[in-house]
Amino acid sequence: MIGVGKMKQYTNVLDKPLSKGKQEVSLSAFAFLFSELVQYNQTQVDNIAELERRLEDAGYAVGARVLELLCHRDKGNRRETRLLGILSFVHSTVWKVLFGKVADSLEKGTEHEDEYMISEKELLVNRFISVPKDMGTFNCGAFVAGIVRGVLDSAGFPAVVTAHFVPMEGQQRPRTTILIKFTEEVLRREARLG
Amino acid sequence: MAPLVPRSGDAIFANVERVNAELFTLTYGAMVRQLLTDLEEVEEVNKQLDQMGYNIGIRLIDEFLAKSNVSRCVDFKESADVIAKVGFKMFLGITATVTNWDADGTSCSLILEDNPLVDFVELPDTCQGLYYCNVLSGVIRGALEMVSMKTEVTWVRDMLRGDDAYELRVKLLKQVPEEYPYKDDE
């Protein structure tokens, strides 16, 4: 029903009940929008690192809000305080809500203590994108890396997050790995908590 | 070959791949925020959003025609109906109503009953001139232009600005006669 009257306009957005988050839009609607986001940002930069940084910034804004939203709705206003807890929250809860599935894998880096990796065979944002040859290592996954960084940072786990293509044997398309490198303070705190 | 029967918006929406609306909403929000930071002027942001919508519209119409089996609409009235009942449903999962036709049937209002773009959004005082959903008007303009209809699409009511509904005014400026590649048919 529409036309409920002028009263409604002054309701604060926080006074509205939180939706259950089951609404959907078509994948194409998202893909079209995302492609415009990438193309617009392309006009604002003159190198690839800058373009990735801007996409990451956009993702960061999404991530920060997703953390808040999911903590309210799914976790009874609690958030994770331990490293493995927050990582599995990203890998399972956040991924499930945003992309409809749990991420393909979550691994700990073998060479460095502070590195973790989330891998996805076909990342949603890379599905309709083919990177032109002259754009080298550009990866739209930077947007998702930004989402991950936004969630981690807002939860008190600052980290450097980057997206990389990893070629897969026997597969035409590479998979995308999101590399998370936590800052020292996070590891120190984690060690102290034991 | 039997003519294809146009499919209902619901049937198409049920069959296409879908994503969580919150991802869509938040991504759109992040984009609008980037534009506000980059362009500084609210007017410029309105223009840029409309341009982006237009770019989407001219691409989206292909998918729309391919999946909906809708053939040529006899008049502007039918086009408006198809946008409201099939177009909005198929891409955003929402429906719109068409009302307020003018006497010669060249302009009407689309009223959105639900608008996934604006969840979690509140316009701050500094952005009062912003047409937050301006991308939608661009999409409609772009898509209709690809089927030979030049239109002008403007916001009449916007709940983010304190109105009681979302209302888009679509005005048909002119119907561009199509030039057929006759030779190809011979």
SS (H, E, C) A105-161: EEEECCCCCCEEEEEECCCHHHCCCCCCHHHCCCCCCHHHHHHHHHHHHHCCCCEEE
Determine what percent of chain B falls in helix, strand and coil, rounding each to the nearest 5. 50, 15, 30
Helix axis angle, A48-74 to A27-43, nearest 10°: 140
Mutate to test the interface with A, among B13, B16, B24 (most CBs of A within 10 A): B24
Please judge whether B22 and A69 are an interchain contact, meaning their C-beta atoms are less than 8 angstroms apart: yes
pLDDT digits (tens, 9 = 90+) for B52-79: 999 999 999 999 999 998 888 888 999 9
> What pTM, to 2 d.p., does this model score?
0.90
> pLDDT digit string (tens) for B42-51?
999 999 999 9
From the list A9, A13, A100, which residue is nearest B120 (CB)?
A13
pLDDT of residue B180: 67
| Inter-chain CB proximity B56 and A100 less than 8 Å | no
Instruction: Round to whole Å and give the CA distance between A153 and A66.
Output: 12
- Contact list in B for residue A39 (CB cut-off 8 A) is 55
Phi-psi region of B160 (alpha: psi -120 to 50; beta: other; left: phi over 0): alpha
Chain B residue with the nearest C-alpha to that of A9: B162
When pLDDT is cut at 50, 70 and 90, the band that residue A4 belongs to is: very low
The CA distance from A164 to A141, in Å, is: 8
Contacts B29 to A, Cβ<8 Å: 61-62, 65
- This complex has an ipTM of 0.91
Give the pLDDT confidence score for residue B63 in this predicted structure: 93
Q: In chain B, which residue's Cα lies nearest the Cα of A4?
A: B164
Q: Cβ contact (<8 Å) for A25 and B59?
A: no
